[in-house]
Amino acid sequence: MGRLEGKSIIITGAGSGIGRAASLMFTKEGARLIAVDKTDAVDETVKMVREAGGTAEALKGDAGNEQDVAGFVGKAVSAYGKLDVIWANAGISGGWVPLHDQTVEQWQEILRVNLIGPFLAIKHASRQMMNQGHGGSIICTASVAGLKANAGGNPYSASKAGVVSLVQTSSYSLTGTGVRVNAICPGLIETGMTRNTFERARERGTENKIGQINPTQRGGKPHEIAAMGLFLASDEASYVNGQAVPVDGGLTASMPFAGKLRS
């Protein structure tokens, strides 16, 4: 029996990066998956899952659109008879635009996808889970940028700080329902969103400096975030609720410092 055997699960942003890694890991552990992304890459993810012997269906849609999110939930129920877990993972970065060059439209789009998207996932998934009467797990992708400055642009960081607050407040809004709501705060992970950073470092021969300011002294991999999601999705995390868990090599464990710390 896998750790997620028989569970019906939705993962958004499943076309690449953390979402794809989680799709492969979760289905290997017995999950039945609805993989969601706005791009055709989600079809490749589902193909990979099926080739590995897993169960998955692809669905294209916008994680920040309420009609689409309600559709994701409905699809999981129609395909698998229930919904046990949703991971609201889809997000956009917005880049590093100087403060005075940022526009209201940029802020609105980043907040729509990164913050309203998780809200919609919580709203619609929790209602379904409550109707089923046996609870469930909701996971949101936040970021270390939502905990500390200088890990992302202003609108991105604000959106991820909002996700942290959202899971805290939502866990209390759902008191007594058996529905748990948690966030994962990745550090610097090599995904499509950060690919340029990693590629530029490789071109300059400075790849070994990526992640040098965290005590693990490296960047992270998508499967390392997926592994935390696997725990939160599983029954092993039954007493974990309302938390924002950093998975960042230790980056947020320290105040800023210059030079090498001595023991």
- Active-site residue set: 156
Rounded CA separation 157/162 (Å): 9
Residues with Cβ within 8 Å of residue 72, at least 6 apart in sequence: 10, 12, 34, 36, 59, 61, 86, 124
**Helical axes 154-173 vs 104-111, angle rounded to 10°:** 40
Rounded CA separation 166/82 (Å): 24
Ranges assigned E (strand) in the chain? 8-12, 32-37, 55-60, 85-88, 136-141, 179-186, 244-247
* CB neighbour burial string for 220-245, b if at least 16 within 10 angstroms, e if fewer: bebebbbebbbbbbbeebeeebebbb
How far apart, in Å, are the Cα atoms of 147 and each of 22, 72, 225? 23, 29, 17
3-state secondary structure of 189: strand
